[in-house]
């Protein structure tokens, strides 16, 4: 983990925002963004990894994050990472490819979410989701 004033602020916000949430196996959800952040090599990607689901899964907005002092580059990546359900999933993923911060975070997110060992029970829904994520990773990793 990269520890700077802004990453520590993001860590605290991430913990507070997700503290009462659990993942599909009932584990504290906050472990997921912390796991992603541990893989990042730069301050901005670390912040984006920590905050990648805050706007999508809580009442916190991009404006709130901007008012807290998070940089425009992080806000742009978070905007791209926040999936609007009206946009087809692969179209959403394709747009992430153009932003290096969003791309790095989403690849880590997809790898972690594809790890079926995290689940207590693997069913057809989980297998289908893992396949969708495999296709998304291939799209993001494809060099033009």
Active centre residues (catalytic): 56-57
Using CA atoms, how far apart are residues 98 and 54, in angstroms rounded to an integer? 22
Tell the burial category of 33 from Cβ atoms under 10 Å away from its Cβ (0-12, 13-18, 19+): buried
Strand partners, 22: 28
d(CA 80, CA 98): 10
Q: How far apart (Å, rounded) are the C-alpha atoms in residues 15 and 99?
A: 25
């Amino acid at each position: 983990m990269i520890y700077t004033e802004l990453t520590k602020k993001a860590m605290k916000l991430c913990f507070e925002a997700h503290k009462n949430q659990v993942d599909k196996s009932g584990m504290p959800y906050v472990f997921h963004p912390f796991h992603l952040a541990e893989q990042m090599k730069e301050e901005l990607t670390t912040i984006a990894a920590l905050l990648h689901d805050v706007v999508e899964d809580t009442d916190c907005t991009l404006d709130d994050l901007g008012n807290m002092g998070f940089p425009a580059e992080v806000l742009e990546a978070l905007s791209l990472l926040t999936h609007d359900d009206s946009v087809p999933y692969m179209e959403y993923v394709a747009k992430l490819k153009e932003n290096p911060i969003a791309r790095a975070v989403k690849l880590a997110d997809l790898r972690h979410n594809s790890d079926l060992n995290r689940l207590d029970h693997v069913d057809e829904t989980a297998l289908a989701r893992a396949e969708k994520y495999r296709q998304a990773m291939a799209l993001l990793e494809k060099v033009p």
